[in-house]
Chain A
Amino acid sequence: MREALCETRDGENLVLEGVKAKGRVAGRMLDMTIEQRFKNPEPTNVEVIYTFPLPWHAVMLGLEVELNGETLTGQVKAKVQARSDYEEALSEGNTGILVTVNADRSYTLELGNLLAGESCVIRLHYVQTLQPEQGSLRVTLPTTIAPRYGDAMRDGGYEPHAVPKVSATVEYPFEITLAIHGELVQAQIGSPSHKVAIRTIPAVGTKESFMTEVSLAAQAWLDRDFVLVFDQLPHASLGLAAWDRLDTGLGVVMASFTPKLPTRELLPVAMKILVDCSGSMNGDSIQAARSALQRILDELGEADRFSLSRFGDTVEHRSKAMWKGAPAALAASRRWAEKLRADLGGTEMNQAILSTLALPGAERNDVLLITDGEIQAIDTVVETARQSRDRFFVVGIGASVAEGLLRRLAQETGGSCEFVSPGEQVEPAIVRLYHRMRSPAVTRTRIEWPQGCRIHAASELPESVFDGDDVTVFARLHADSAELLTRSVRLLGRVAGVEGEICLAELNAEFIADEANTLARLAASQRYWQLKKASEQVPAMLKKPLPELAEKYQLVTDDTSLILVKRRAEGLQAQDMPELRTVKNMLAAGWGGQGSVTDPLGTPRFRSSNSNPAVRFSRTHDAGSLAVPAVWRTHRSPAADLTDAQIAGSLDDFEIPSFLRMQSETAKFRDIQVWKAPPSTAPFWVSLNGEDEQVLTEGRPNGGLSPAGLTEGLKRSPRSVWPKTYKELEGIQLVPRVIEWLEVVIGQGQPEAEVVQAFLQVMNQMDFTLRQTVTGALRNILSPGNKHQSALQSELQDSISKALEDVAAMSWPKGVLDYAEAGQ
């Protein structure tokens, strides 16, 4: 299999040799060059396909290729033309390089006819406007595309050849250097994703005397986003202006507003929290999700309302409606958050959102989604979210989160996004999130462009404007002089509770020469994507000139691609159709629990314990002494083995799953006093979730103890083995919510042992007769408390009896199970 050459681990046969990024940050602009080095180590002619991510706001501006010692530059052409040029180059034995953008705004590079032994260096140049949020700026460079849930072609809109592929064994080295200029030098700089070296060096070619250089301090790979965080930035709006070099008389103004809202009282929130518990969240991500959720809960108060749900293949709602932020509800939520596991399989996000939206709540709610965003069917999700008219706030989690998908979801619903890398402090993100949710909405926002200029085209403002979150807009203006372009630009809007229209931000753009026409190209790019993604309401007349606009300003879009063709000299052309070599992305670090990213670098991750390795069966107890290798049965079915084991009885313990062993073991330890569970029959066990769920699976209880079941157990077991702690109540399979209720509602501030004792005492006094089991209508009248017991015991028993008034043999009272909903 020649295909396998791509996958070898040792590097020699990999086509992609590595990636180097070099960038410059100044003002609100990041200027980056990504260098991808390819080498064909094989004796055959190959075509390389590499699908890679770029940041969501990145605008690709150029392509430079080094091939056989020659440096060439690419050109943007209409998509169909570029494709046909490329195919022709290949069929004629020449070399073509084509860069196209995919539906999720990742890019695919095709490099065709790279002959045996040839090398090729690709340099992609992009510019990105930076968006500080509340004094903090996050600069991200994604390096890999993590596996996503769903069909890449049907749901994700990928062409077959461009579908990103992933390998768990490939390794590509990654380097990055960033030069930081201007006021950003004064910020606190750090990277939550990589070990970086930060140093101040004399600046070259600028007005300032110093700049800051950030580079990697340790070997890195293309397996996680590179993240650089700037903190404590000054709040200040900033603007740039320049002439458009392609249209005489037209000027471009870029305005980055930092809106300042009048201080208002903080508003209560009404939010539906939805946590992604699909398999891809396993490991670091679910850990980060748990801590994010705990922090979110910490901020909730009595005036707030919230609901909790988690999803994967299915969705599970913790409450039937929204809860008040009361102590009992919050305590229940914390317990729920603590137990979050990424065990729900796939990522049926759309179904989960629909189901969550359907939960009864306030007229207008916010939805808070905690996820890694690794899904293909994002269009459906965005559409569902938009139609709900709720704002979607997103906390993106993971080492290689699908930034673009989540940004779209938040932007189009008027919410916002926060991202948290594994091991990063979650606190600042949550603080910013609440700051937005608790602020009054800004409505009817508009921009006043400089006086004396006539607007040619101006970009739309986002759905929402938040205090301290940068908003970047562009306008193309007819102006008679450069001075006119630098006059005041204002962002205006209305805020609930404040009379009339107010000015949220104001700036005077700085006029620059801009020989590369970057500003005009950025403006064109923003216009292109805004109109392209706009709904049907936008007249077709506005959308029609978009392909032309993209080609004129040399932008890689849905309608255009970057193409470069190198004609080969006679005799040096390829003679056949090249073999395909798809560059597989590295599996994102920590994805789905594949190793941990949060481990401190350099420390050994495994404790050595290789002496006497033990072979164990999965269902046995965790006994440490099972060092004897089990008998391997190769040609027999496991079921047959089990029957044998049961018959033989004398086989070693570990060959029988523990639950089948239970009976014989109880017999063996007859003299030792242990908790005796009630028989596995219907009246003693109840399901944990829905009523229709089967309580017994093949004779084994699958739910928790019913009231009658607990009472029966108490009668069978001596008092000395009764549970004494909440944990032990869990051990005898009491319904978890009943334990939570005990802990949170009854036991607030009381000693655990007393609470458990009081509860069991009350339950022990109950008597469910067979008739009651059937009708469930009668209750035993509780006998008066024992004279010898303490006042606390009496008090506890009293309140427990009261709460259990509605208890029936086969069902715990509603008020107990839904304790967190009580008091609303």
Chain B
Amino acid sequence: MFSTYQLSELCTLADLPIRTVRYYVQQGLVDRPEGETRAARYGQKHLDQLLLIKKWTAAGLSLDRIRELLAGEDAAVPERSKRRGTIEVVSRLHIADGVELVIEPSRAGLTPEQVRELSRGVMALFDAIEARDKTEG
């Protein structure tokens, strides 16, 4: 059976404020209704989505994380924080006094060519900003 609710009914069933429900819809966490404005109708699917989000937020998940989970991303085990004594070799590209670009190529998944391209790009941008400031100043 397919029951349809108005937004206010849906809010009562989920026990959530109307503003919050509409926010979830606008954020894409809950599907948009069938029909628009006055004629908008919500069904069991919407209610289930809301109850799931409610459960997850109560468990302390952020809305960003919930969005990822809803989008079907793995509930991956969070990366372990680095252990003391872990050695990490990163490169610091010196751009100007006080400006450095820190790259850990293996974690960033960049090829040497890409790293060079990035470095050149950042340097060029810095020069452009400086040159502009000089002409303006």
Interface positions of A (Cβ within 8 A of B): 47, 83-84, 87, 91-93, 151, 153-154, 159-161, 573-580, 602, 604, 606-610, 613-619, 630, 632-639, 641-642, 657, 697-698
Q: Is B73 an interface residue (CB 8 A)?
A: no
Q: How far is the CA of A573 from the CA of B37 in the complex (A)?
A: 10
Q: Which residue of chain B is the closest to A607 with respect to CB atoms?
A: B97
Q: Is B134 an interface residue (CB 8 A)?
A: yes
- Decide if A580 touches B89 in the complex (CB within 8 Å): no
20 other A-B residue contacts (CB within 8 Å) besides A83-B17, A604-B130, A618-B89: A83-B19, A87-B7, A154-B60, A159-B19, A161-B19, A577-B40, A579-B26, A580-B27, A604-B133, A606-B97, A610-B126, A613-B94, A615-B94, A616-B91, A618-B90, A618-B92, A633-B106, A634-B105, A642-B89, A697-B84
Could you give 27 example pairs across A and B, Cβ below 8 Å?
A: A47-B26, A84-B18, A91-B38, A151-B60, A153-B57, A575-B37, A576-B36, A580-B23, A604-B130, A604-B133, A604-B134, A608-B130, A610-B123, A610-B126, A610-B127, A613-B123, A615-B93, A615-B94, A616-B91, A618-B89, A619-B89, A634-B106, A634-B111, A642-B89, A657-B87, A657-B89, A697-B84
Q: How large is the interface on B (under 10, 10 to 19, 20 to 34, 35 or more residues)?
A: 35 or more
- Decide if B26 touches A610 in the complex (CB within 8 Å): no
Q: Which residue of chain A is the closest to B122 with respect to CB atoms?
A: A613
Q: Is B41 an interface residue (CB 8 A)?
A: no
Q: Is B13 an interface residue (CB 8 A)?
A: no
- Decide if B93 touches A613 in the complex (CB within 8 Å): yes
Q: Which residue of chain B is the closest to A91 with respect to CB atoms?
A: B37
- Decide if B106 touches A636 in the complex (CB within 8 Å): yes
Q: Which of A93, A575, A618, A633 has the most CB of B within 10 A?
A: A618
Q: Is B95 an interface residue (CB 8 A)?
A: yes
Q: How far is the CB of A658 from chain B (nearest CB, A)?
A: 12
List the B side residues contacting A632 at CB < 8 Å: 91, 105, 112, 115
Q: How far is the CA of A575 from the CA of B27 in the complex (A)?
A: 19
Interface positions of B (Cβ within 8 A of A): 7, 17-20, 22-27, 32-33, 36-38, 40, 57, 60, 62-63, 84-85, 87-99, 102, 104-106, 109-112, 115, 119, 123, 126-127, 130, 133-134, 137
Q: Which residue of chain A is the closest to B89 with respect to CB atoms?
A: A638
Q: How far is the CB of B53 from chain A (nearest CB, A)?
A: 10
- Decide if A616 touches B37 in the complex (CB within 8 Å): no
Interface of A is mostly: loop
List the A side residues contacting B91 at CB < 8 Å: 615-618, 630, 632
- Decide if A577 touches B105 in the complex (CB within 8 Å): no
Q: How far is the CB of A528 from chain B (nearest CB, A)?
A: 23
List the B side residues contacting A635 at CB < 8 Å: 106
Q: A159-B20, A630-B91 are in contact. Are A618 and B102 (CB under 8 A)?
A: yes
List the A side residues contacting B26 at CB < 8 Å: 47, 577-580
Q: Which residue of chain A is the closest to B102 with respect to CB atoms?
A: A618
Q: How far is the CA of A618 from the CA of B119 in the complex (A)?
A: 16
Q: How far is the CB of B59 from chain A (nearest CB, A)?
A: 11
Q: A618-B90, A632-B91 are in contact. Are A607 and B96 (CB under 8 A)?
A: yes
List the A side residues contacting B63 at CB < 8 Å: 160
Q: How far is the CA of A154 from the CA of B96 in the complex (A)?
A: 42
- Decide if B96 touches A637 in the complex (CB within 8 Å): no
- Decide if A604 touches B137 in the complex (CB within 8 Å): yes
- Decide if A577 touches B94 in the complex (CB within 8 Å): no
List the B side residues contacting A614 at CB < 8 Å: 94
Q: How far is the CB of B121 from chain A (nearest CB, A)?
A: 13
Q: How far is the CB of A762 from chain B (nearest CB, A)?
A: 35
Q: Which residue of chain B is the closest to A626 with respect to CB atoms?
A: B94
CB contact between B130 and one of A151, A154, A577, A606 (< 8 Å): that residue: A606
List the B side residues contacting A93 at CB < 8 Å: 37
List the B side residues contacting A616 at CB < 8 Å: 91-92, 94
Q: Which residue of chain A is the closest to B94 with respect to CB atoms?
A: A614
Q: Which residue of chain B is the closest to A575 with respect to CB atoms?
A: B36
CB contact between A639 and one of B87, B92, B130 (< 8 Å): that residue: B87
- Decide if A92 touches B37 in the complex (CB within 8 Å): yes
- Decide if A602 touches B137 in the complex (CB within 8 Å): yes
Q: How far is the CB of B99 from chain A (nearest CB, A)?
A: 6
List the B side residues contacting A637 at CB < 8 Å: 106
Q: Which residue of chain B is the closest to A596 with respect to CB atoms?
A: B98
Q: How far is the CA of A641 from the CA of B88 in the complex (A)?
A: 10
Q: How far is the CA of A438 from the CA of B95 in the complex (A)?
A: 51
